[in-house]
A and B are shown apart, each in its own frame.
Chain A
Amino acid sequence: MIEELRKYIGVQSDWETACDRVEAGAVRRFAQAIMDEDPAFGPQGEDRFGGPVAPPLYPMMMFRRPLGAPDPLRIHAGDPEFDGIGQGSSVTRGLPEIAPLAGWAILNGGTEVELFRYARHGETIRMRSRYADITEKDTSKGPIVLVVTETEIATPDGEVLLRARRTLIRRKPR
Protein backbone atom coordinates (compact mmCIF):
# COMPACT_ATOMS: atom_id res chain seq x y z
CA MET A 1 0.00 0.00 0.00
CA ILE A 2 2.88 2.39 0.72
CA GLU A 3 3.46 3.18 -2.95
CA GLU A 4 -0.18 4.12 -3.31
CA LEU A 5 0.07 6.35 -0.23
CA ARG A 6 3.30 8.05 -1.18
CA LYS A 7 1.69 9.44 -4.34
CA TYR A 8 0.06 11.97 -2.04
CA ILE A 9 3.34 13.42 -0.75
CA GLY A 10 3.76 16.93 -2.10
CA VAL A 11 0.08 17.38 -2.90
CA GLN A 12 -0.78 20.92 -1.86
CA SER A 13 -4.07 22.69 -1.27
CA ASP A 14 -5.02 26.02 -2.73
CA TRP A 15 -5.03 29.02 -0.41
CA GLU A 16 -8.27 29.03 1.56
CA THR A 17 -9.58 32.12 3.29
CA ALA A 18 -11.37 31.55 6.60
CA CYS A 19 -15.09 32.18 6.20
CA ASP A 20 -15.12 34.56 9.17
CA ARG A 21 -12.64 37.23 10.15
CA VAL A 22 -11.05 36.90 13.60
CA GLU A 23 -14.19 37.61 15.61
CA ALA A 24 -14.19 38.98 19.15
CA GLY A 25 -16.95 36.59 20.23
CA ALA A 26 -15.27 33.53 18.78
CA VAL A 27 -12.01 34.55 20.43
CA ARG A 28 -13.77 34.99 23.76
CA ARG A 29 -15.36 31.53 23.55
CA PHE A 30 -12.03 30.04 22.54
CA ALA A 31 -10.16 31.75 25.40
CA GLN A 32 -12.80 30.65 27.88
CA ALA A 33 -12.67 27.07 26.58
CA ILE A 34 -8.89 26.89 27.01
CA MET A 35 -9.23 28.70 30.36
CA ASP A 36 -6.76 31.42 29.43
CA GLU A 37 -8.55 34.71 30.03
CA ASP A 38 -5.55 36.88 29.16
CA PRO A 39 -6.69 40.53 28.85
CA ALA A 40 -4.80 40.73 25.54
CA PHE A 41 -7.59 38.58 24.03
CA GLY A 42 -10.33 40.97 25.18
CA PRO A 43 -11.58 44.33 23.92
CA GLN A 44 -8.89 46.36 25.71
CA GLY A 45 -6.17 44.42 23.92
CA GLU A 46 -2.49 45.14 24.35
CA ASP A 47 -0.52 47.98 22.77
CA ARG A 48 2.45 45.74 22.02
CA PHE A 49 0.29 43.54 19.83
CA GLY A 50 -1.50 46.40 18.07
CA GLY A 51 -4.84 45.90 19.84
CA PRO A 52 -6.94 42.86 20.79
CA VAL A 53 -5.52 39.56 19.57
CA ALA A 54 -6.45 35.89 19.53
CA PRO A 55 -4.65 33.13 21.47
CA PRO A 56 -1.46 31.91 19.80
CA LEU A 57 -2.90 28.84 18.07
CA TYR A 58 -6.32 30.28 17.31
CA PRO A 59 -5.59 30.75 13.58
CA MET A 60 -5.06 27.01 13.23
CA MET A 61 -8.61 26.40 14.44
CA MET A 62 -10.55 29.15 12.65
CA PHE A 63 -11.16 27.42 9.33
CA ARG A 64 -14.77 26.40 9.65
CA ARG A 65 -17.57 25.30 7.40
CA PRO A 66 -19.00 28.31 5.55
CA LEU A 67 -22.74 28.73 5.17
CA GLY A 68 -23.98 26.70 2.23
CA ALA A 69 -21.15 24.16 2.25
CA PRO A 70 -22.15 20.48 2.66
CA ASP A 71 -22.92 19.67 6.28
CA PRO A 72 -21.16 16.41 7.26
CA LEU A 73 -23.37 15.98 10.33
CA ARG A 74 -26.49 16.14 8.17
CA ILE A 75 -25.00 13.89 5.49
CA HIS A 76 -23.92 11.25 8.01
CA ALA A 77 -26.79 11.61 10.47
CA GLY A 78 -27.86 8.00 10.04
CA ASP A 79 -24.37 6.50 9.90
CA PRO A 80 -23.31 4.98 13.24
CA GLU A 81 -19.79 4.55 11.86
CA PHE A 82 -19.29 8.25 11.22
CA ASP A 83 -16.60 9.56 13.54
CA GLY A 84 -17.78 13.16 13.46
CA ILE A 85 -14.67 14.45 11.78
CA GLY A 86 -14.46 12.97 8.29
CA GLN A 87 -12.90 15.25 5.75
CA GLY A 88 -12.30 18.86 6.49
CA SER A 89 -10.47 18.71 9.79
CA SER A 90 -8.29 21.75 10.35
CA VAL A 91 -5.26 19.56 9.65
CA THR A 92 -6.21 18.16 6.26
CA ARG A 93 -8.58 20.89 5.13
CA GLY A 94 -8.26 21.58 1.44
CA LEU A 95 -6.22 18.44 0.86
CA PRO A 96 -7.73 15.43 -0.91
CA GLU A 97 -8.69 12.47 1.27
CA ILE A 98 -6.04 9.76 1.05
CA ALA A 99 -8.19 7.16 -0.68
CA PRO A 100 -6.57 3.98 0.74
CA LEU A 101 -7.13 5.35 4.27
CA ALA A 102 -10.85 6.07 3.87
CA GLY A 103 -12.63 4.94 7.02
CA TRP A 104 -9.44 4.67 9.08
CA ALA A 105 -9.50 6.25 12.53
CA ILE A 106 -7.68 9.57 12.97
CA LEU A 107 -5.62 10.50 16.00
CA ASN A 108 -3.56 13.61 16.56
CA GLY A 109 0.08 12.52 16.78
CA GLY A 110 1.76 15.82 17.47
CA THR A 111 2.56 19.29 16.26
CA GLU A 112 5.51 21.59 15.64
CA VAL A 113 4.67 25.27 15.37
CA GLU A 114 6.72 28.33 14.54
CA LEU A 115 5.01 31.57 15.59
CA PHE A 116 5.64 35.08 14.31
CA ARG A 117 2.68 37.12 15.51
CA TYR A 118 -0.84 36.85 16.87
CA ALA A 119 -3.95 37.27 14.74
CA ARG A 120 -5.67 40.57 15.49
CA HIS A 121 -9.42 40.92 15.93
CA GLY A 122 -11.01 41.76 12.59
CA GLU A 123 -8.23 40.30 10.46
CA THR A 124 -8.81 38.05 7.47
CA ILE A 125 -6.71 34.89 7.62
CA ARG A 126 -5.91 32.28 5.01
CA MET A 127 -4.10 28.96 4.99
CA ARG A 128 -2.47 26.49 2.67
CA SER A 129 -1.43 22.90 3.47
CA ARG A 130 0.53 20.09 1.86
CA TYR A 131 1.18 16.44 2.57
CA ALA A 132 4.83 16.49 3.63
CA ASP A 133 5.36 12.81 4.43
CA ILE A 134 3.46 9.53 4.68
CA THR A 135 4.93 6.41 6.30
CA GLU A 136 3.67 3.03 7.44
CA LYS A 137 4.57 1.60 10.82
CA ASP A 138 3.85 -1.73 12.54
CA THR A 139 2.78 -1.49 16.16
CA SER A 140 1.67 -3.98 18.77
CA LYS A 141 -1.91 -2.90 17.97
CA GLY A 142 -1.49 -3.42 14.24
CA PRO A 143 -0.33 -1.29 11.34
CA ILE A 144 -0.68 2.47 11.43
CA VAL A 145 0.06 5.17 8.90
CA LEU A 146 1.69 8.44 9.92
CA VAL A 147 0.57 11.36 7.77
CA VAL A 148 2.56 14.58 8.15
CA THR A 149 1.08 17.84 6.92
CA GLU A 150 2.63 21.29 6.72
CA THR A 151 0.41 24.35 6.99
CA GLU A 152 1.17 28.00 6.50
CA ILE A 153 -1.21 30.57 7.94
CA ALA A 154 -0.94 34.10 6.66
CA THR A 155 -2.74 37.33 5.95
CA PRO A 156 -4.00 38.00 2.41
CA ASP A 157 -0.99 40.23 1.75
CA GLY A 158 1.35 37.37 2.59
CA GLU A 159 2.46 38.12 6.15
CA VAL A 160 3.00 34.72 7.78
CA LEU A 161 1.52 34.40 11.27
CA LEU A 162 2.59 30.83 11.90
CA ARG A 163 3.75 27.61 10.31
CA ALA A 164 2.66 24.21 11.61
CA ARG A 165 3.87 20.70 10.90
CA ARG A 166 1.41 18.13 12.19
CA THR A 167 1.35 14.36 12.41
CA LEU A 168 -1.87 12.42 12.04
CA ILE A 169 -1.97 8.79 13.13
CA ARG A 170 -4.31 6.77 10.91
CA ARG A 171 -5.37 3.39 12.26
CA LYS A 172 -7.45 0.74 10.53
CA PRO A 173 -10.69 -0.01 12.38
CA ARG A 174 -10.57 -3.33 14.21
Chain B
Amino acid sequence: MTLPHGQLVFEDVEAGQEVDALVKGPLGTMHLMRWSAAMENWHRIHYDRTFAQEHDKLPDILINGSLKQQFILQCLKDWAGRAGWVWKVGFQFRAMNLVDETLTVWARVKATRDVGPYGLVELELGIRNGAGTESTPGTATVALPHRGGAPVPYPFRAPA
Protein backbone atom coordinates (compact mmCIF):
# COMPACT_ATOMS: atom_id res chain seq x y z
CA MET B 1 0.00 0.00 0.00
CA THR B 2 1.48 3.33 -1.03
CA LEU B 3 1.44 6.49 1.03
CA PRO B 4 -1.06 9.26 0.26
CA HIS B 5 0.26 12.22 -1.75
CA GLY B 6 1.83 14.78 0.54
CA GLN B 7 2.10 12.39 3.49
CA LEU B 8 4.63 13.50 6.10
CA VAL B 9 7.26 10.80 6.60
CA PHE B 10 9.58 10.05 9.48
CA GLU B 11 12.67 10.99 7.48
CA ASP B 12 11.35 14.55 7.02
CA VAL B 13 11.15 15.22 10.77
CA GLU B 14 13.90 16.41 13.08
CA ALA B 15 14.15 17.75 16.61
CA GLY B 16 13.20 21.40 16.94
CA GLN B 17 10.81 21.30 13.98
CA GLU B 18 7.54 23.15 14.49
CA VAL B 19 4.17 21.61 13.72
CA ASP B 20 1.75 23.82 11.79
CA ALA B 21 -0.15 25.76 14.43
CA LEU B 22 -3.94 25.40 14.65
CA VAL B 23 -5.87 28.58 15.47
CA LYS B 24 -9.41 28.47 16.91
CA GLY B 25 -11.51 31.44 17.74
CA PRO B 26 -12.38 33.84 19.03
CA LEU B 27 -14.45 31.31 20.95
CA GLY B 28 -17.67 32.98 22.03
CA THR B 29 -20.62 31.78 24.04
CA MET B 30 -22.18 30.31 20.90
CA HIS B 31 -19.18 28.04 20.36
CA LEU B 32 -19.24 26.92 23.98
CA MET B 33 -22.99 26.33 23.97
CA ARG B 34 -22.68 24.31 20.76
CA TRP B 35 -19.98 22.19 22.37
CA SER B 36 -21.96 21.68 25.58
CA ALA B 37 -24.98 20.59 23.57
CA ALA B 38 -22.96 18.26 21.32
CA MET B 39 -21.51 16.42 24.29
CA GLU B 40 -24.59 16.86 26.51
CA ASN B 41 -22.57 18.33 29.35
CA TRP B 42 -24.42 21.00 31.30
CA HIS B 43 -21.66 22.23 33.59
CA ARG B 44 -22.80 25.79 34.21
CA ILE B 45 -19.37 27.40 34.34
CA HIS B 46 -19.25 27.04 30.55
CA TYR B 47 -22.40 29.04 29.72
CA ASP B 48 -23.87 30.63 32.86
CA ARG B 49 -21.87 33.77 33.61
CA THR B 50 -23.69 34.55 36.86
CA PHE B 51 -23.04 31.06 38.21
CA ALA B 52 -19.42 31.05 37.05
CA GLN B 53 -18.65 34.39 38.68
CA GLU B 54 -20.85 34.42 41.76
CA HIS B 55 -20.92 30.75 42.73
CA ASP B 56 -17.57 29.43 41.52
CA LYS B 57 -15.79 32.83 41.83
CA LEU B 58 -14.35 32.55 38.34
CA PRO B 59 -13.41 35.64 36.32
CA ASP B 60 -15.81 34.71 33.50
CA ILE B 61 -17.24 31.76 31.59
CA LEU B 62 -14.52 29.16 30.95
CA ILE B 63 -13.68 27.53 27.65
CA ASN B 64 -14.13 23.81 28.28
CA GLY B 65 -10.99 21.76 28.79
CA SER B 66 -12.84 19.01 26.97
CA LEU B 67 -13.06 21.29 23.91
CA LYS B 68 -9.44 22.38 24.08
CA GLN B 69 -8.28 18.78 24.07
CA GLN B 70 -10.15 18.19 20.79
CA PHE B 71 -8.14 21.03 19.24
CA ILE B 72 -4.88 19.38 20.33
CA LEU B 73 -5.92 16.10 18.76
CA GLN B 74 -6.96 17.84 15.54
CA CYS B 75 -3.63 19.62 15.27
CA LEU B 76 -1.67 16.40 15.74
CA LYS B 77 -3.98 14.29 13.58
CA ASP B 78 -3.73 16.68 10.67
CA TRP B 79 0.06 16.82 11.02
CA ALA B 80 0.40 13.03 11.18
CA GLY B 81 -1.65 12.65 7.99
CA ARG B 82 -3.81 9.72 6.96
CA ALA B 83 -0.92 7.23 7.03
CA GLY B 84 0.36 8.35 10.44
CA TRP B 85 -1.15 7.88 13.87
CA VAL B 86 -1.39 9.91 17.06
CA TRP B 87 -0.53 7.24 19.62
CA LYS B 88 -0.22 9.10 22.91
CA VAL B 89 -1.13 12.59 24.02
CA GLY B 90 -1.16 14.13 27.47
CA PHE B 91 -1.81 17.66 28.69
CA GLN B 92 -2.52 19.56 31.84
CA PHE B 93 -5.06 22.32 32.21
CA ARG B 94 -2.77 24.71 34.07
CA ALA B 95 -4.55 27.97 33.36
CA MET B 96 -8.06 29.00 32.51
CA ASN B 97 -9.07 30.20 29.08
CA LEU B 98 -11.98 32.59 29.10
CA VAL B 99 -14.83 33.05 26.66
CA ASP B 100 -13.97 35.18 23.59
CA GLU B 101 -10.30 34.20 23.62
CA THR B 102 -8.58 32.97 20.46
CA LEU B 103 -6.54 29.83 21.06
CA THR B 104 -3.49 28.64 19.16
CA VAL B 105 -2.40 25.02 19.44
CA TRP B 106 1.33 24.63 18.89
CA ALA B 107 3.67 21.65 18.94
CA ARG B 108 7.40 21.11 18.48
CA VAL B 109 9.42 17.97 17.82
CA LYS B 110 11.60 17.00 20.77
CA ALA B 111 13.02 13.69 19.61
CA THR B 112 12.62 10.94 17.04
CA ARG B 113 13.03 7.18 17.29
CA ASP B 114 12.99 4.59 14.53
CA VAL B 115 11.20 1.48 15.73
CA GLY B 116 11.38 -0.51 12.50
CA PRO B 117 8.14 -0.54 10.55
CA TYR B 118 7.54 3.13 11.41
CA GLY B 119 9.10 5.98 13.36
CA LEU B 120 8.00 7.59 16.61
CA VAL B 121 8.10 11.34 17.10
CA GLU B 122 8.05 12.84 20.58
CA LEU B 123 6.54 16.30 20.77
CA GLU B 124 5.98 19.04 23.29
CA LEU B 125 2.82 21.04 22.81
CA GLY B 126 0.48 23.56 24.30
CA ILE B 127 -2.28 26.09 23.82
CA ARG B 128 -1.64 29.84 23.94
CA ASN B 129 -4.20 32.60 23.98
CA GLY B 130 -3.94 35.94 22.23
CA ALA B 131 -1.84 37.35 25.05
CA GLY B 132 0.64 34.50 24.62
CA THR B 133 -0.26 32.85 27.92
CA GLU B 134 0.24 29.09 27.93
CA SER B 135 -2.70 27.20 29.42
CA THR B 136 -2.35 23.57 28.37
CA PRO B 137 1.22 22.25 28.27
CA GLY B 138 1.62 18.66 27.22
CA THR B 139 3.43 16.02 25.27
CA ALA B 140 2.57 13.59 22.52
CA THR B 141 3.93 10.62 20.62
CA VAL B 142 3.07 10.39 16.95
CA ALA B 143 3.88 7.46 14.65
CA LEU B 144 4.92 8.29 11.08
CA PRO B 145 5.58 6.00 8.12
CA HIS B 146 8.98 5.68 6.49
CA ARG B 147 9.59 7.19 3.06
CA GLY B 148 8.67 4.51 0.56
CA GLY B 149 7.26 2.35 3.35
CA ALA B 150 3.79 1.30 4.36
CA PRO B 151 1.31 3.37 6.37
CA VAL B 152 1.54 3.04 10.13
CA PRO B 153 -0.47 -0.09 11.09
CA TYR B 154 -4.14 0.57 11.73
CA PRO B 155 -5.49 -0.31 14.23
CA PHE B 156 -2.29 0.92 15.83
CA ARG B 157 0.03 -1.65 17.34
CA ALA B 158 2.42 -0.28 19.90
CA PRO B 159 6.09 -1.15 19.37
CA ALA B 160 7.44 -4.07 21.37
Q: Spell out A's residues near B (CB within 8 Å).
A: 26, 29-30, 32-36, 38, 40, 46, 48-49, 55-57, 61, 64-65, 72-73, 80-85, 89-90, 105-117, 159, 167, 173-174
B90 on the A face (CB < 8 A): yes
Complex: A47 Cα to B77 Cα, angstroms: 17
* CB of A36, distance to nearest CB on chain B (Å): 4
Instruction: Please name 6 pairs of A and B residues whose Cβ atoms are closer than 8 Å in the assembled complex, sorted by A.
Output: A34-B71, A56-B73, A57-B70, A61-B39, A109-B93, A110-B90
- Classify the interface of chain B: helix, strand, loop or mixed: mixed
Q: Spell out B's residues near A (CB within 8 Å).
A: 24, 31, 34-35, 37-45, 48, 51, 55-57, 64-67, 69-71, 73-74, 77, 82-83, 85-93, 138, 151, 154-156
Partner of A65, one of B40, B86, B154: B40
CB contact under 8 A between A84 and B38, given known A113-B90, A115-B87: no
Complex: A171 Cα to B98 Cα, angstroms: 19
CB contact under 8 A between A85 and B42, given known A36-B74, A110-B91, A114-B87: yes
CB contact under 8 A between A117 and B90, given known A34-B35, A57-B73: no
In the complex, residue of chain B having the shortest beta-carbon distance to the beta carbon of A31: B38
* CB of A42, distance to nearest CB on chain B (Å): 15
* A174 and B57 within 8 A (CB): yes
Q: A26-B38, A110-B92 are in contact. List 16 more A-B contacts (CB 8 A).
A: A34-B67, A34-B70, A34-B71, A48-B151, A49-B154, A56-B73, A56-B77, A61-B39, A107-B65, A108-B65, A110-B90, A110-B91, A115-B156, A116-B156, A117-B155, A174-B57
Question: 3 tightest CB-CB pairs across the interface, nearest first?
Answer: A112-B90, A108-B65, A117-B155
Residues of chain A with a CB closer than 8 A to B65's CB: 107-108, 110-111
In the complex, residue of chain A having the shortest beta-carbon distance to the beta carbon of B85: A115
CB contact under 8 A between A61 and B66, given known A33-B38, A48-B151: yes
